[in-house]
Chain A
Amino acid sequence: MNKTGERKVPTELGTENVGKLLIQYAIPAIIAQTAASLYNMIDSIFIGHIPDVGADAISGLATTFPFMNLSAAFGAMVGVGGATQLSVRLGQRDYDSAKTILGNLVTLNIIVGILFAGVSLLFLDEILFFFGASDTTLPFARDFMKVILFGNVITHLYFGINAALRASGHPKQAMYATIITVIMNIVLAPIFIYILGWGIKGAATATILAQCTTLAWQIRLLSNPNELLHLQRGIYKLRKDIVKAILSIGMSPFFINAAGCIVVIIINKGLRTYSDNGDMSIAAYGIANRVQFIFLMIVLGLTQGMQPIVGYNYGARRYDRVRRALMLTIFGATVVTTAGFIIAEFMPETVARAFTTEDNLIEMSAWAMRIMSLVMPFIGMQIVTTNFFQSIGMVKKSIFLSLTRQVLMLIPLLIILPLFIGEKGVWYSMPVSDFIAALLTIIMLFIQFREWKRDNMNI
């Protein structure tokens, strides 16, 4: 909103040392992403250490991941759509429209949050079975999900308002909100789970309570009448044009999240069908996935730091700087994913022990991690290049590459490979799909470089 402040950003992007810029822009994003991955791991870690429960609870929890994805899909639809519209209006200093969008975002979050929770609670067991639960693991999944679903509106509001804060010129507060929630969750979870003896329900309660507290703080921040944009009377009534605008923008984040949900369902189904011990395999996948997740989220943070640098310099035709930013980011990302690779291949048991105390599950998770991370060193480059294409406006290439790794290659492989080699087929689908995607990415980047060379653009 500050005119001079915003104008200042692009010039430094064109002149300052690229490496320095990358660090400056990437660090806040990496912190945010790490916080997000912690957020998704805390429950897994604490639940894994409940005495006498172990593997079944972890497996039950793993079947709730696609559920969380689906809820996030609906939340993101409203949150991303609303925040994007909000930032366009604020860019135009159209505060009247911005206010109404903020109000509509809140109302929509509440409606969608309640509807999602209501339908889910009604068919809870059916959905969990569909997502890969068994008679043994269902009670744990149900206990956990019930609490999460009762707090679903809070979750959607918390994420939605955080997106609104970020869009309305308070990115720092949004980051604090994320970090505070994570810390509160870490503090509350062991109290509820172990001391009060609430078990898996305690983990869910801690999550919701942490969000609830942060939400109260967010609402207080946004209620400050001295701010041009604040929560006030008369902005909450849904307006057809605004709802339409929000939902049409929100469609793509919705589908991305929904695709994530479908992939996990297919993996869980595959493991249930082909494994001798489906519950154990699903639990192992849950753990291995969480571990990979941290490294990929750090890479994602790094690419978010790269985007403005590449975008600006590409526009300003400073191709030497574009190239340098891309190469530095690929290098950094490769270091991160290679570190993940080394940990997953050489000390997976140590990592698995953080998530469970049960020997069988430790062994199985370690095995899963070794397979899932086989081509991990190349994934860093894959993710960076995908986002690179987006930063320079080649959105279609970016979507294509992003889908390749996680959907286009993965889903057919998940269905076909197990037909020949059984359970192993499910596991190997992941590195094989990663490998093909990495190869495709290198080829596309290579072709792009050649095209640029032909056009005398020295990227």
Chain B
Amino acid sequence: MNKFVISIGRQPGSGGKEIAERLAERLNIKVYDKTLLEVAARESGIDTTVFEQADEQEVSGLFGGWFSIHGSMGDYIPGNNYMGNNKLFEIQSEAIRDIAENESCIIVGRCAEYVLRDHPAMLSVFITADYDDRIERVMKQEGLGQEKAAEFIEKSDKRRRSYHDYYATTRWGEAKCYDLCINSSRMGVEGSVELLYRFIKEYFEK
């Protein structure tokens, strides 16, 4: 197979990350998520902590420091903050494109399906799961009670959606924006990996 890239978006608690990791194992390629940020960081000579801070955080208060003085009218000059989230996203996207150009890989999150929209061999996948399964998974992974898990899911959903829809022109989790959407509750993690594996093989070998 020639070089290809799979972008995987996922709901929190859908098992998407696990699916991505196992799929990468099967395909014998790398999966980039957090490590992706570090590559981007190293490349631009910026410490990774900044990236962790901006890790799919809700985009809010962009113009918090924008300062108005009574009775004034003037140019809209926002503080041009080079470390602002917009700039971070730009650096990160650049890193994603660099990686995708050099090797076959899986990229989890980070609007990769939008960032790589011009990539000649990209398949985009979105993974969901039934609500109860998501709760259960989050309870186990995060060590939370049921109520806390529900809260966690609600918050992360909101955060990921606002991050994604701010930076991308596609809509987070909307079927028409992806090549394939899978509910992992139907076939389980193993089954979903198998399905994706066959899908990828067939598509790229053709």
Residue positions of A touching B, CB distance < 8 A? 7, 9-11, 13-14, 29, 32-33, 36-37, 39-40, 62, 65-66, 68-69, 71-72, 75-76, 79-80, 83-84, 87-89, 91-92, 94, 97, 155, 159, 162-163, 166, 174, 178, 241, 245, 249, 252-253, 256-257, 259-260, 263-264, 267, 286, 289, 293, 296-297, 300, 303-304, 307-308, 311-312, 314-317, 383, 386-387, 389-393, 395-396, 398-399, 402, 406
**In the assembled complex, B70 has its CB within 8 A of some CB on chain A:** yes
Chain A hits for B35, CB < 8 A:
none
Q: Which of B49, B65, B75, B80 contacts A36 (CB 8 A)?
A: B75
A-B contacts, 21 listed (Cβ < 8 Å): A10-B44, A39-B73, A40-B73, A92-B93, A92-B115, A159-B76, A241-B169, A256-B63, A256-B66, A260-B70, A260-B72, A289-B70, A293-B69, A314-B83, A315-B50, A316-B45, A383-B67, A387-B67, A390-B79, A393-B53, A395-B60
B74 & A39 in contact (Cβ 8 Å cutoff):
yes
* A389, B81: Cα distance in complex, Å: 12
Closest-CB distance, A171 to chain B (whole angstroms): 9
A88 & B166 in contact (Cβ 8 Å cutoff):
yes
Chain B residues 51 to 94 lying within 8 A of chain A, measured CB to CB, are 53-54, 60-84, 86-87, 89-90, 93
* A391, B78: Cα distance in complex, Å: 12
B82 & A36 in contact (Cβ 8 Å cutoff):
no
Q: Which of B71, B77, B79 contacts A69 (CB 8 A)?
A: B71
A40 & B45 in contact (Cβ 8 Å cutoff):
no
A84 & B78 in contact (Cβ 8 Å cutoff):
yes
State the 5 A-B residue pairs at the shortest beta-carbon distance, nearest first: A65-B71, A36-B74, A390-B65, A311-B83, A315-B50
With A91-B89, A252-B61, A387-B79 known to touch, is A10 a contact of B46 (CB < 8 Å)? Answer: yes
Closest-CB distance, B96 to chain A (whole angstroms): 11
Q: Which residue of B lies closest to A207 (CB)?
A: B73
Q: Is the interface of A mostly helix, strand, loop or mixed?
A: helix
A163 & B82 in contact (Cβ 8 Å cutoff):
no
Closest-CB distance, B111 to chain A (whole angstroms): 9
With A311-B83, A311-B84 known to touch, is A296 a contact of B69 (CB < 8 Å)? Answer: yes
**In the assembled complex, B172 has its CB within 8 A of some CB on chain A:** no
